[in-house]
């Protein structure tokens, strides 16, 4: 129910900030703004502040927006207003007006990250789940339950880690940049810290997809191997399992955490039939032995086991709250890191080194908008920050129909002393539209594939 409202609110806010950046810079540079519009289609509200030459318009479909400025290339301009036209302003002013939109989105992201840091946010503690067998993490000697205190790409310059999200960011950065990631670990059993190195430099950039964490072997934070809510007449209930049971062993294998338990249940299939296995379970301090037979479910082309119960506990949570300066610095760091990673990934997709499956379109964004809004204000603000960075970076790309394309025109004008000819402008614009439509089609295809999968 929240998906559509959350998506439309996010679009309207981010587009309004983007266009406001263009508007404020235009006014500051002495350009007359005729209209500031959010959305397309029929207008549902319009107003003109007293003493202002700008008409503000809110339209039905918040799927875009524009700032219409006085410009001799679009309409006749009176002689006494020619100095207010966009095309008559100096090159530096025109470039500043164009760049102000994407930069406004990046500034918004900084502020959103800062607000979350100032208000305090609960994040999963940086305790590692047991790694996937044979994965990079398993080969690095990780076994699960280790707490990450510091991490980095340079073993001599490790940075403090406060939550599992920090670990994820280092993993993505290492994979994209082709660097190994060093983790400084602490465990309950060992007072002394130790160092583990994840050899991500061997990954191909094309492997940076949604399955990246599984290949590395770290799919989430550590959770307890508990049975949660049990469905009526499901395999768990028929086997005698109850909510709160702690699973100690399945057959001869010890179960260390929720990830191991989930994977073991999924793998309880042999020759197309569900395996019945003996489970050692702790319940209210007592040890029980139960025979559990999962139900078979189709997962793509694979048969997997399911028990009809929530498996694993919630992770350990930590509350992170920043001071005003630290919160602002966090916002700058997160925005910079997100921008750099986005540009790196886009560049690798452009040259075929990263999968185009990383592109997401409106359906995926709408899905994430609804999910983040349902999880609370903090999650929604973080979602807005990520999308705001993406919008800012996307618009700075040198595609003719985007702000970055216009900045490329101005770079040419600065280098040669003459602007791009109308004929070339027309060709470039048409080519940019075709390329953008291709990217949108791929993103929409990825959306549909994800949702149906």
Residue 441 confidence (pLDDT): 83
| Identical fold between 136-216 and 227-311 | yes
How many CB atoms are located within 10 Å of the residue 43 CB? 13
Please provide the DSSP assignment of 51-113 as one string: T-SPEEEEEEEEEEEEEEE--TTTS---GGGGGGSGGGS-HHHHHHHHHHHHHHHHHHHHHHH
pLDDT at 453 over 60: no
User: How far is CA 439 from each of CA 210, 305, 349, 428, rounded to the nearest angstrom?
Assistant: 18, 38, 11, 16
* Residue 340 binned pLDDT confidence (cut-offs 50, 70, 90): confident
Q: How far apart are CA 425 and CA 73, in angstroms?
A: 13
Query: What pLDDT sits at residue 208?
Result: 59
Give the pLDDT confidence score for residue 399 in this predicted structure.
Answer: 84
Distance CA 448, CA 451 (A): 5
Taking residues 320-342, what's their average pLDDT? Answer: 89
Mapped to the 3 state alphabet, what secondary structure does 30-51 carry?
A: CCCEEEEEEEEEEEEEEECCCC
Q: Which of 4, 14, 109 is nearest to 370 (CA)?
A: 4
Residue with tokens 């040419």: 412
pLDDT in tens, 153-204: 988 889 999 999 899 989 988 888 889 999 999 876 655 678 999 998 887 6
Residue 272: left if φ>0, alpha if ψ -120 to 50, beta else—which one?
Answer: left
State mean pLDDT over 369-377: 80
- pLDDT recorded at residue 270: 86
Q: What is the pLDDT of residues 244-266, one digit of tens each?
A: 999 999 998 899 999 999 999 99
Which entry of 19, 123, 132, 277 is annotated as an active-site residue?
Answer: 19
CA-CA distance, 253 to 132, in Å (whole number)?
Answer: 15
10 Å Cβ neighbour count for 400?
22
Over residues 102-125, mean pLDDT? 93
User: For residue 187, what pLDDT is reported?
Assistant: 74
Is the domain defined by 136-216 classed in CATH 2.30.38.10? no
Task: Return the percentage of the chain with pLDDT > 90, whole number.
Answer: 47
Lowest mean pLDDT among 89-93, 317-321, 363-367, 417-421: 363-367
**pLDDT of the residue at 210:** 58
Question: Is the Cβ–Cβ distance between 83 and 29 less than 8 Å?
Answer: no
Rounded to an integer, the average pLDDT of 311-330 is 90
pLDDT band at 279 (very low <50, low <70, confident <90, very high): very high
Q: Measured in whole angstroms, how far is the alpha carbon of residue 54 from the centre of its chain?
A: 36
Token duo for residue 216: 């590395």
Q: How confident is the model at residue 207 (pLDDT cuts 50, 70, 90)?
A: low
pTM of the full predicted structure? 0.78
Instruction: Classify burial at 298, counting beta carbons within 10 Å of its beta carbon; exposed 0-12, middle 13-18, buried 19 or more.
Output: exposed
30 compared with 207, residue with greater pLDDT: 30
pLDDT averaged over the chain? 87
Note the pLDDT of residue 192: 67
At the topology level of CATH, where does 227-311 sit?
A: Pdz3 Domain (2.30.42)
Give the rounded distance of the alpha carbon of 221 from its chain centre.
Answer: 18
pLDDT digits over 147-158, tens only?
999 999 988 889
The domain segmentation of the chain, as residue ranges, is 90-120+322-453, 136-216, 227-311
What is the predicted pLDDT for the residue at 205?
Answer: 58
How is the chain split among helix, strand and coil, in percent rounded to 5?
45, 25, 30
Strand duo 159-160 + 181-186: pairing? unpaired
The predicted structure's pLDDT at residue 190: 59
Residues 6+ apart with CB under 8 A from 176: 205, 208, 341, 344, 345, 348
- Please name which of 168, 225, 178 lies closest in space to residue 199, comparing C-alpha atoms: 178
Tokens for 99, please give them. 């760049």
Asked if 189 is an active-site residue, the reply is no
Q: Exposure string (b/e) for 76-112, b if CB count within 10 Å is 16 or more?
A: ebeeeeeebbbebbeeebbbbbbbbbbbbbbbbbbbb
For the chain, the distance separating the N- and C-terminal CA atoms, rounded to the nearest angstrom, is 21
**Range picked from 204-213, 264-273, 444-453 for highest mean pLDDT:** 264-273
Q: Kindly state the tokens that stand for 168.
A: 């994820």
> How many other C-beta atoms lie within 10 A of the C-beta of residue 270?
9
Cα atoms in the 13 Å half-sphere on the side-chain side of 245: 25
Most confident of 105-109, 253-257, 352-356: 105-109
DSSP string spanning 339-361? HHHHHHHHHHHHTTSS-GGG---
Give the Cβ contact number of residue 12 at 10 Å: 16
pLDDT of residue 209: 60
Q: Which H or E element spans position 215?
A: helix 212-216
């Amino acid at each position: 129910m929240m998906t559509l409202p959350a998506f439309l609110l996010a679009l309207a806010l981010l587009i309004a900030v983007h266009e406001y950046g263009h508007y404020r810079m235009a006014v500051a540079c002495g350009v007359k703004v005729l209209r500031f519009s959010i959305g397309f289609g029929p207008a549902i509200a319009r107003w003109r502040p007293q003493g202002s030459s700008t008409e503000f318009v809110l339209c039905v479909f918040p799927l875009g927006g524009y700032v219409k400025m006085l410009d001799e290339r679009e309409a006749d301009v009176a002689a006494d207003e020619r100095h207010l036209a966009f095309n008559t302003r100096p090159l530096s002013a025109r470039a500043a007006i164009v760049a102000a939109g994407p930069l406004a989105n990046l500034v918004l992201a900084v502020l959103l990250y800062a607000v979350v840091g100032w208000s305090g946010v609960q994040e999963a503690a940086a305790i590692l789940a047991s790694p996937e067998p044979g994965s990079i993490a398993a080969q690095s000697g990780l076994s699960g339950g280790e707490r990450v205190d510091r991490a980095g790409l340079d073993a001599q310059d490790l940075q403090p880690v406060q939550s599992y999200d920090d670990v994820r960011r280092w993993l993505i950065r290492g994979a994209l940049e082709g660097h190994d990631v060093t983790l400084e670990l602490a465990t309950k059993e060992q007072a002394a810290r130790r160092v583990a190195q994840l050899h991500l430099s061997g990954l191909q950039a094309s492997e940076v997809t949604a399955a990246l964490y599984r290949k590395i072997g770290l799919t989430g934070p550590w959770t307890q191997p508990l049975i949660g809510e049990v469905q009526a007449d499901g395999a768990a209930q028929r086997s005698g399992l109850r909510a709160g049971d702690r699973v100690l062993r399945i057959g001869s294998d010890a179960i260390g955490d929720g990830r191991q338990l989930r994977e073991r249940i999924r793998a309880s299939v042999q020759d197309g039939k569900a395996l019945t296995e003996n489970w050692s379970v702790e319940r209210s301090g007592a040890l029980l032995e139960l025979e559990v037979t999962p139900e078979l479910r189709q997962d793509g082309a694979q048969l997997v086991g399911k028990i009809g119960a929530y498996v694993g506990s919630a992770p350990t949570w930590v509350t992170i709250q920043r001071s005003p300066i630290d919160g602002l610095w966090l916002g700058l760091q997160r925005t910079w890191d997100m921008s750099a990673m986005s540009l790196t990934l886009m560049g690798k997709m452009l040259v075929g080194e990263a999968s185009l499956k990383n592109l997401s379109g409106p359906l995926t964004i709408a899905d994430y908008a609804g999910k983040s809004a349902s999880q609370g204000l903090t999650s929604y603000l973080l979602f807005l920050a990520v999308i705001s960075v993406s919008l800012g970076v996307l618009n700075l790309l040198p595609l003719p129909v985007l702000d970055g394309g216009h900045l490329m025109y101005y770079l040419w004008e600065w280098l040669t002393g003459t602007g791009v000819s109308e004929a070339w402008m027309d060709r470039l614009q048409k080519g940019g539209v075709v390329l953008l439509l291709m990217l949108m089609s791929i993103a929409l295809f990825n959306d549909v594939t994800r949702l149906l999968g």
